[in-house]
């Protein structure tokens, strides 16, 4: 019965988030009479945006709806690129950390994507359309990452962002050295236990990857020369992704806090000839912004989180603005499913803390994370030819009063506030019907169990009829009493 209850509740929850059908999947859509926030070429007031076959076809103030097009009246509303979260852990089935070893590069987040995670829908309701889904930070070198589009209702195979560069998670500091973790009694601590051990772990892994790569390069060279009867090197799934890093085929996203460790990883990367694509969290990035720029890395940070652990002690809310001023490509991320529902507000905080312009603030959650993930040719701004990944707000997105009205991905509406609200009464009834059905099933089962219990009882032994003498005697005695 507990299983039936879970099914009932989940069915009702997922029904709330069901993808609208019919016109919602129109191939041609005109969003009209809105303020269009393009990011790349300013805001256009009283403008329209035409979507055709999932792409932005035109933007202007004098567009007319083609025959058969679906028209969205966005009068008084704001249209902006879909929000991109450069650090997310949604849509993962099970834990995000493979913590048994400090180098877990063989673990693959793409293999455990969960399309039924309700956080996908909730983040769509906040205007988020793309997420960089990362392995956790328990390892010096963690698992492989994947960029997804929040296509709620699609199978796991249709979530990954087509053509996006794969990544891998690194981590520095307290988490990989397990500062805040005590192993069970009788279990020894995992190496490394110090910051210098984390550096050594990363360096040793790339020494092995470099030798492994050389072995394969030699084999492929000999094979290409026509040499016969060659035995290929043994495949190592732990080193394969590190070779991809060395070859520039996989991005490194490094969890970090302290300035000294950030510089350390920059030096290690330089030693082995690869680049860190993004420093994640990077709360002391403002101290070494010039070094980050020189390395070619970006910074994906929090808006105003600080002092929640020792290595976050020197974090300041001006970090994003200060790094931006020095030339770092900066994004603001969530690292949290709930936070991803209001990344527009997180970006706005850098206008208060650091004086960023409105457009630069919007970039923190649109174009800049797109650049960091190598997908800015497809998303991150509203330009003709780009994917129609769009969020429509009822107020300026940088306002605390802004609420998402619709979220589109590839020109399809995946979240519609009015559809969601209007369907809640019916869904509440469906939920209650399911609960009533569950209760009735439980009552019926209880009655059936009681009936079966009665059947299992042995029938009472029948008493033998008394002898005539005994009967008279019993009657006499009874009468006397």
Tens digits of residue pLDDT in 347-391: 999 999 999 999 999 999 999 999 999 999 999 999 999 999 999
Q: Is the pLDDT of residue 275 over 70?
A: yes
pLDDT beyond 50 at 9: no
What would you measure as the largest C-alpha separation in the chain, in angstroms? 124
Taking residues 123-138, report their average pLDDT: 97
Does the structure show a pLDDT above 70 at 215?
Answer: yes
Q: What's the mean pLDDT when you consider all of the chain?
A: 91
Q: Among 9-18, 75-84, 421-430, where is mean pLDDT lowest?
A: 9-18
Residue 458 has a pLDDT of 58
- The pLDDT score that the predictor gives to residue 7 is 46
The pLDDT score that the predictor gives to residue 146 is 98
**Residues 188/213, Cβ–Cβ less than 8 Å:** no
pLDDT at 444 over 80: yes
pLDDT at 470: 52
Q: What number is the average pLDDT over the span 314-324?
A: 98
Q: State the average pLDDT over residues 84-90.
A: 98
Tell me the average pLDDT across 472-476. Answer: 43
So what's the pLDDT on residue 466? 61
Calculate the CA dihedral of residues 378, 379, 381, 382 and round it to 10 degrees. 70
| Higher pLDDT among residues 128 and 25, named by residue | 128
The residue extents of the domains of the chain are 1-82+381-434, 83-379
Banded model confidence at residue 201, pLDDT cuts 50, 70, 90: very high
Going by pLDDT thresholds of 50, 70 and 90, the confidence category of residue 185 is: confident
pLDDT at 471: 47
The Cα 36–Cα 60 span in angstroms is 9
What angle is formed at CA 303 by the lines to CA 297 and CA 304, rounded to 5 degrees?
Answer: 125
Q: For the whole prediction, is pTM greater than 0.85?
A: yes
Q: Is it the case that residue 12 has pLDDT exceeding 50?
A: no
Instruction: Please state which of the four CATH numbers 3.20.20.70, 3.40.50.720, 2.30.40.10, 3.40.190.290 is assigned to the domain occupying 1-82+381-434.
Output: 2.30.40.10
Determine what percent of the chain is predicted with pLDDT higher than 90. 83
What is the arithmetic mean of pLDDT over 464-481?
A: 48
Superfamily for the 83-379 domain: Metal-dependent hydrolases (3.20.20.140)
Is pLDDT above 80 for 469?
no
pLDDT of residue 453: 78
112 has pLDDT over 90: yes
Q: Report pLDDT for 476.
A: 42
The whole-number pLDDT of residue 2 equals 44
Q: What average pLDDT does range 331-338 have in this prediction?
A: 97
| pLDDT over 60 (residue 6) | no
Kindly report the three-state secondary structure assignment for every residue of the chain.
Answer: CHHHHHHHHHHHHHHHCCCCCHHHHCCEEEEEEEEEECCCCCEEEEEEEEEECCEEEEEECCCCCCCCCEEEECCCCEEEECEEEEEECCCECCCCCCCCCCECCCCEHHHHECCCCHHHHHHHCCCEEEEEECCCCCCCEEEEEEEEECCCCCCHHHCECCCCCCEEEEECCCCCCCCCCCCCCCCCCCCCCCHHHHHHHHHHHHHHHHHHHHHHHHHHHHHHCCCCCCCCCCCCCCCHHHHHHHCCCCEEEEEECCHHHHHHHHHHHHHHCCCCCEEEECCCHHHCHHHHHHHCCEEEECCCCCCCCHHHCCCCCCHHHHHHHCCCCEEECCCCCCHHHHHHHHHHHHHHCCCCCHHHHHHCCCHHHHHHCCCCCCCCCCCCCCECCEEEECCCCCCCCCCEEEEEECCEEEEEHHHHHHCHHHHHHHHHHHHHHHHHHHHHHHHHHHHHHHHHCCCCCCCCCCCHHHHHHHHHHHHHC
Which of these ranges, 141-145, 200-204, 446-450, has the smallest mean pLDDT? Answer: 446-450
pLDDT of residue 184: 81
């Amino acid at each position: 019965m507990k299983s039936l209850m879970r099914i009932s509740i989940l069915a009702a929850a997922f029904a709330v988030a069901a993808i609208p059908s019919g016109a919602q999947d129109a191939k041609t859509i005109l969003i009209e009479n809105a303020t269009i926030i393009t990011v790349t070429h300013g805001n256009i007031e009283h403008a329209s945006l035409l979507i055709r076959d999932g792409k932005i076809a035109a933007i202007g103030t004098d567009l007319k709806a083609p025959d058969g097009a679906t028209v969205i009246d966005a009068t008084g509303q704001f249209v902006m690129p879909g929000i991109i979260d450069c650090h997310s852990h949604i849509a993962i089935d099970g834990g995000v950390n493979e913590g048994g070893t400090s180098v877990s590069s063989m673990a693959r987040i793409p293999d455990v994507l969960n399309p039924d995670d309700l956080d996908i829908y909730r983040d769509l309701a906040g205007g988020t359309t793309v997420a960089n889904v990362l392995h956790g930070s328990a390892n010096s070198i963690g698992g492989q990452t994947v960029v997804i589009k929040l296509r709620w209702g699609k199978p796991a195979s249709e979530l990954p962002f087509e053509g996006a560069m794969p990544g891998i998670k690194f981590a520095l500091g307290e988490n990989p050295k397990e500062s805040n973790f005590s192993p069970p009694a009788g279990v020894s601590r995992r190496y490394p236990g110090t910051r210098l051990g984390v550096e050594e772990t990363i360096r040793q892994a790339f020494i092995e990857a470099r030798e492994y790569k050389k072995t394969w390069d030699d084999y492929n060279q000999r094979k290409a020369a026509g040499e016969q009867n060659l035995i290929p090197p043994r495949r190592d799934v732990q080193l394969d992704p590190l070779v991809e890093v060395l070859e520039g085929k996989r991005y490194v996203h490094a969890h970090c806090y302290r300035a000294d460790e950030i510089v350390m990883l920059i030096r290690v990367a330089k030693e082995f000839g690869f680049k860190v694509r993004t420093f994640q969290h990077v709360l002391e990035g403002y101290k070494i912004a010039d070094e980050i720029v020189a390395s070619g890395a970006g910074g994906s940070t929090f808006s105003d989180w600080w002092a929640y652990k020792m290595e976050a002690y020197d974090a300041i809310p001006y970090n994003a603005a200060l790094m931006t001023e020095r030339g770092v490509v900066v994004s603001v991320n969530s690292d949290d499913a709930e936070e991803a529902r209001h990344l527009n507000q997180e970006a706005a905080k850098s206008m208060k803390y650091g004086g960023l312009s409105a457009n630069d603030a919007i970039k923190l959650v649109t174009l800049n994370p797109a650049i960091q993930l190598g997908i800015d040719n497809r998303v991150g701004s509203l330009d003709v030819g780009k994917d129609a990944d769009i969020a429509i707000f009822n107020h300026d997105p940088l306002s605390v009063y802004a609420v998402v009205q619709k979220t589109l991905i590839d020109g399809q509406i995946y979240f519609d506030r009015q559809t969601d609200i209007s369907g809640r009464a019916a869904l509440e009834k469906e939920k209650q019907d399911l609960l009533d059905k569950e209760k009735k099933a439980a009552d019926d089962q209880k009655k059936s169990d009681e009936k079966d219990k009665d059947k299992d009882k042995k029938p009472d032994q029948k008493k033998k009829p008394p002898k005539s003498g005994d009967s008279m005697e019993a009657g006499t005695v009874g009468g006397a009493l």
